[in-house]
Amino acid sequence: MRKFRLGFAGLYIFALLLLAIVVQAAPQDTNFVGSWDMTMAAGGPGGRGGQGGEGGHRGGGGGAQSLTIAQDGGKYKVTHKTPRGEKTSDATVSGNTI
């Protein structure tokens, strides 16, 4: 009876390890389509308020932003909305990178 328990426990552990390997090896979902809301903190690099800084960077006051990725057939469109306006761009997908 003891050998049976040890054999069953070994089989159970082997099955768990095999399942973990299969889950890790499964292809990743490359569905980029969706919408995300973000809130950017006010200020620029180093907390200088975004006024000047290296390279003349003038960060804004932060605020709510959204990023939307839409798919039409094999084409993708990315829309980035900020307090300063909206920008829509075409995008391409290569592997799991957009």
Question: pTM of the prediction?
Answer: 0.48
Q: Is it the case that residue 94 has pLDDT exceeding 70?
A: yes
The C-alpha atoms of residue 93 and residue 1 are separated, in whole angstroms, by: 57
What residues does each domain of the chain span?
Answer: 30-91
Q: What is the pLDDT of residues 33-67, one digit of tens each?
A: 888 888 877 665 554 444 444 444 455 556 889 99
The C-alpha atoms of residue 93 and residue 98 are separated, in whole angstroms, by: 4
The values of phi and psi at residue 41, to 5°, are -75, 150
Q: What is the pLDDT of residues 13-39, one digit of tens each?
A: 888 888 888 777 655 556 778 888 888
Residue for token digits 């605020």?
A: 63
